[in-house]
Chain A
Amino acid sequence: MGIRNVEELQDMHLDVLKEIGNIGSGNAASALSTMLNCETDISVPNVKLLDFSDAVNFLGGPENIAIGMLVNLTEDINGMMLYVLQHSCASQMTSAIFGSEIEDLANMNEMERSFIAEVGNIMSASYINAIASLTGLTIDISVPQMCVDMVGAILSVPAVQFAQVGNKVLFIDDSFVIGGCEVKSNMILVPEMSSLEFLFNRLGVGI
C-alpha cells in the first residue's frame, strides 16, 4: 500500500526526517565551522509539512529577495532539494570570512557568489550524505544551481514539481549559531513519492 500524497505522511515519518535533518545539520555545521574558521553550533532542526503559501510567508513573503540553491537527486532517490538562504544570514557568513556584509544581494560580486555557492554545496551535500549513510542508498546530486530572486518565484520551482502529489512541501528549518550570532537557513526537500516510500522502507518505517 503506497502513498500518493505527501499529506498522508504521519508524525512517525516526520520524526524520521527530523532525525535525518539533525544528522545532516550536524555534518553541515562542522563543515561550515571549518570553512568559516569559527565556532558553529546548531540546534535540532524543525521538520514540518507546510503549505506552499505558508512556506513562502515563513521565508519572508513572496517578494522577499533571497538566495535559492537547487540540486537534483538521482539514482536510488529521485527528487530535488532547495536550500534557501536569507540576505542577513548570507551577510553573517561573509562577515565571518571576508569581514564585510553583502551590500546588494541581487548583485553579489564574484567572490561572494562563489562563496555562497560553496555554502549551498556543503549544506546540500551534508543532508544527502546523512540520508545516504543512514539508509545505505546511493544518491547522486547535481551541481547546485543558484538563483537570487523573489522567494515566491524560487519556491514555485519545487511547488510545480510537487503540485502533482500535494500542496505541501517538506520544510526543514535550521538554526545555526555562527560566531555567537544566530542565523537561519531552510532546506526544502521534494522527493518523488516512490522515492520517499523506498526511503522509509529502508529505514524500517514503511508506509
Chain B
Amino acid sequence: MGMITVGIADLNIAKEPDVLATYALGSCVGICLYDPEKKIAGLAHIMLPLSKDAVNGGADNRRRYADTGITELIQTMSLAGATPSRLVAKIAGGAQMFNTTSSVFNIGERNVAAVKKILAAYKIRIIAEETGENFGRTVFFHPDSGIMEVRSATKPIIKV
C-alpha cells in the first residue's frame, strides 16, 4: 500500500491498494471523487472558490480553484479509466479557523458552496460531507473501500 500525498492547491488519483492523503485542511476543501466499480479515486485540495473571480482569471494554477480544480480532476480520472457518470463525491474541510466576521475569513464557507455548485453542475452526488466548524482536518481516501477518513487535532477519527 502506497500513500499518495496531495499538497495544497494540487490533485492526484489512486487505485487500490494505494491511499490518497491530504494534510491539514483549514479553510481549503478536500474533494474525493470515486468510481466504485473501477475503484479509481481522485483527491483535489482547493484553496479558493471560482477561478473567474481571481485577479488573473486563475490561469496561474488551475488546481487552486474549485471550478477548474474539479474539472481537471474529472479529466484526469477519466483518462485513468474512470467513468464520469459513475463518480460520487465525499468532501471535507472548509473550516473557519479564526473566529471573526470579516468576509476574508469566511472563505471556508464560500469554498464549500463553490464545490457543491460545481459538483452539481457535473451531476456528481455528494455522499459524505465533513465541512465547516472551526478546526483543521487531515483526509485519507481508500480506493479499495471508498472510505474517507478524517482526522483532526482534538476530535475522534471519522470514517465515512
Residues of chain A touching chain B, judged by Cβ–Cβ distance below 8 Å, are 4, 52-53, 56, 62-63, 65, 68, 70, 72, 80, 106-107, 142, 145, 147-157, 159-161, 163-165
Q: Is the CB of A152 within 8 A of B47?
A: no
> Given the complex of chains A and B, what is the CA–CA distance between A65 and B27 in angstroms?
16
Q: Is B8 part of the binding interface, using a Cβ–Cβ cutoff of 8 Å?
A: yes
By beta carbon, the residue of chain A nearest B95 is A153
Known: A154-B136, A159-B47. A164 touches B55 (CB 8 A): yes
By beta carbon, the residue of chain B nearest A165 is B55
> Given the complex of chains A and B, what is the CA–CA distance between A145 and B101 in angstroms?
11
The distance from the CB of B67 to the nearest CB of chain A, in whole angstroms, is: 15
Q: Is the CB of A163 within 8 A of B98?
A: no
Residues of A within 8 A of B134 (CB): 147
Q: Is the CB of A106 within 8 A of B154?
A: yes
Q: Is the CB of A148 within 8 A of B55?
A: no
Interface majority SS (helix, strand, loop, mixed), chain B: loop
By beta carbon, the residue of chain A nearest B8 is A52
Contact partner of B27 (CB less than 8 A), chosen from A107, A142, A156, A164, is A156
Q: Mark B135-149, 1 if CB is under 8 A from A, else 0.
A: 111100000000000
By beta carbon, the residue of chain B nearest A193 is B55
> Given the complex of chains A and B, what is the CA–CA distance between A107 and B155 in angstroms?
12
Residues of A within 8 A of B105 (CB): 157
Q: Is the CB of B98 within 8 A of A150?
A: no
Known: A150-B153, A154-B136. A160 touches B98 (CB 8 A): no
Residues of A within 8 A of B42 (CB): none
The distance from the CB of A63 to the nearest CB of chain B, in whole angstroms, is: 6
